[in-house]
Structure 1
Amino acid sequence: MCRWLAYTGSPVTLDELLDKPANSLVVQSLHSRLGAEPTNGDGFGVGWYDEHSATPGLFRSIEPAWSDRNLRELAAHVRSGTVFAHVRATSGSAVQQTNCHPFRHDGWLFMHNGFVDGFASIKRDLQLAVDPSLFPHIEGTTDSETLFHLALTLGLQDDPPSAVAAAIGLVEDTGQRHGVTYPVQGTVAVTDGRRLWAFRYSSEGRSRSLFRNRDVAVLRHQYPDNPVLHDLSDDTRIVVSEPLGDLRGAWLEVPESSCLVVDGGEEEILPFAPTVPVAA
């Protein structure tokens, strides 16, 4: 459906992540190796945090990432230690800026690769479950943005794993009551600018691909002559829909039905399962 990248570590220019790797996100927008579709040309977005504001910067466009000159200009100059980036292949919703990921609310960013099956038939029920104070902030028409606002409603800002579990549980419960066998598919990433949570889950148990980098210090020891590794800090963590390169041993698959938590260079993988909110 889509491809995405989440980065935390020492500040880098955006082009170091989006354009320079051999299998960069820009390359994946045109020639994805592991995606459901090889081409992800229905827009893109990038969000980043810096010292100027607690609210992350956000740039989204309906242009294909591989041909957007403004993205190249921006990426060569913006530096950040926390970056979310996403290239989109629509599953049916309109190609418009408000449908491009990442989505932002206050100091939070959210992005998704996958879909809510039968979304048209359950959209009304799901959006009625969104807190009334949050509902006006839904600007687009995607299932992903509705999922984000359900998670916000269910406590994302206090406990992201529990909130995402409840949001997905609500979607599954609603979908199955409408006859949808496998309502949820995909990977999700959430950050508050300091911590990162990445989820891999599908109702069917066959989720979209997701990888994380092996510890940089270990890789630097294994490949002492690789200059790229010497430019990365030891606390660098990159979570991606598919590996950015072919360096053997550099990428580890995030397990099915799990939540990866990254906090200051430390990481933990927890089991993940949806929970149906009591109100449902």
Structure 2
Amino acid sequence: MCRWAAYIGAPVYIESLVTSPGHSLTHQSRAASECKTSLNGDGTGLAWYGDRAEPGLYRDVYPAWSDTNLMSLCRTVKSHAFMAHVRASTGSATSRNNCHPFVHGRWSFMHNGQVGGFDGFRRRADMGVPEALYPYRKGATDSELLFLYALEEGLERAPEAAMIAAHNRLEAMSRTYGCAPHLRSSAAWTDGERLFVLRSSSDEIAPTVYYRRTSDGAGWSVVSEPLEIGQEGWTALPAGHLAVFTQSEIAISPLPAVQRVAA
């Protein structure tokens, strides 16, 4: 399972989430405390927003704890919206194309979780990507496919409904062609103005998500694990819910019941 961190609010240095805290995302890449494995060393990535609509993107196969380029970026770049990810592969190769976040136009997306039995129906799932979007299928992960499905479902006009529909499609395929657990997901996506976060599972185990208002009240940190061990003020996003963050507000709603249909 992977670990990730996201921020939206007044511009801050990216290091404030990714490298500086005692249990920063970089620390979690080798000492995670709330997932199956403590190591998340199969690559790292960062998407950040500045003056332009489209985000900057950095991804590499190095573990975050030894990626000096990542450390330099985090120390010198300020952003009002960014997301960072450290990867623990669930089967696909360690390659730059399989590292998160994934970017298309103004949207960036990252994911922690799994689709049960995905390797057994990956070709079938890939065939569900429309011709116009298939050139953007660079890697082999279920996460990238979730993003492409969401784009097809209308991410631009309905970012919440589109991502929910993408999850439902892959869960339905897992129920027909894969195995349990059919879906476990904590996903984050942003257009640089709003940050969307979803926590969902087909069983009783959903990947962790926490959020916290920054100490100066100027933004939100959303993470897989709190950035300091034992730090107060973090709130767990309930399983089966979706949150939408802007610089000043948060709105949380339950996910609609999944219609159990065959793919």
Into which bin does the TM-score normalised by the smaller protein fall?
over 0.9
The corresponding residue for 2:9 is 9
Distance in 2, Cα, partners of 1:137 & 1:252:
35
The corresponding residue for 2:235 is 252
Instruction: Pick the structure with greater CA Rg.
Output: 1
Is this contact kept in 1: 2:5–2:85, CA < 8 A? yes
Q: 1:179 to 1:190 in 2, by over 3 A?
A: closer
1:189 aligns with 2:172: no
SS at match of 1:76: helix
Distance in 2, Cα, partners of 1:124 & 1:211:
34
Q: 1:279 to 1:154 in 2, by over 3 A?
A: farther
Shift of 1:6: 0.7
SS at match of 2:203: coil
Is this contact kept in 2: 1:44–1:65, CA < 8 A? yes
1:49 aligns with 2:49: yes
Is this contact kept in 1: 2:46–2:57, CA < 8 A? yes
Unmatched tracts of structure 2, length 5 or more: none
- Percent identical pairs in the alignment equals 40
Shift of 1:279: 11
Of residues 254, 257, 260, the one that matches 1:271 is 254
Is this contact kept in 2: 1:205–1:257, CA < 8 A? no
Distance in 2, Cα, partners of 1:164 & 1:128:
18
After superposition, the CA RMSD in angstroms is 1.8
Is this contact kept in 2: 1:188–1:198, CA < 8 A? yes
> Which 4+ stretches in 1 moved above 2 angstroms?
179-182, 246-249, 273-280
Distance in 1, Cα, partners of 2:93 & 2:259:
30
The corresponding residue for 1:219 is none
Distance in 2, Cα, partners of 1:21 & 1:180:
38
Distance in 2, Cα, partners of 1:106 & 1:247:
38
Distance in 1, Cα, partners of 2:88 & 2:116:
15
Is this contact kept in 2: 1:168–1:274, CA < 8 A? no
- The 5 A counterparts of 1:81-100 are 81-100=80-99
TM-score normalized by structure 2? 0.95
Shift of 1:180: 2.3
The corresponding residue for 1:65 is 64
Aligned length: 263
Distance in 1, Cα, partners of 2:202 & 2:261:
20
